[in-house]
Amino acid sequence: MIEIRNELKRKNQTLVFTNGVFDVLHRGHVEYLEQAKSHGDVLVVGLNSDNSVRKIKGEGKPLFKQQDRALVLAGLSSVHYVVFFEEETPHEIISALLPDFLIKGGDYQIHEIVGRDVVEANGGQVVTVPITPGYSTSELIRKIAELLKKGKIAL
**What's the CATH number where 129 sits?**
3.40.50.620
Query: Is 63 a domain residue?
Result: yes
Q: Using CA atoms, how far apart are residues 124 and 116, in angstroms rounded to an integer? A: 9
pLDDT (tens digit, 9 = 90+) per residue, 84-141? 999 999 999 999 999 999 999 999 999 999 999 999 999 999 999 999 888 888 888 8
- Within a domain: residue 25? yes
For the segment 53-77, what is each residue's pLDDT rounded down to a tens digit? 999 999 989 999 999 999 999 999 9
Q: Is the pLDDT assigned to residue 154 strictly greater than 90?
A: no
Q: Is residue 135 part of a domain?
A: yes
Distance from the Cα of residue 151 to its chain's centroid: 34
Q: CA–CA separation, 54 vs 13, rounded Å?
A: 35
- As for how many domains the chain has, the answer is 1
How far apart are the C-alpha atoms of 60 and 155, rounded to whole Å?
18
Give a yes or no: residue 154 inside a domain: no
Task: Look up the domain containing 71 and give its range.
Answer: 2-149
**Res. 155: pLDDT tops 90:** no
Structural domain includes residue 155: no
**CB count, 10 Å around CB of 8?**
20
Residue 37: inside a domain = yes
Model pLDDT, residue 140 = 86
Mean pLDDT of 11-27: 97
Instruction: Quote the CA–CA distance of 109 and 69 in Å, as a whole number.
Output: 26
Is position 64 within any domain? yes
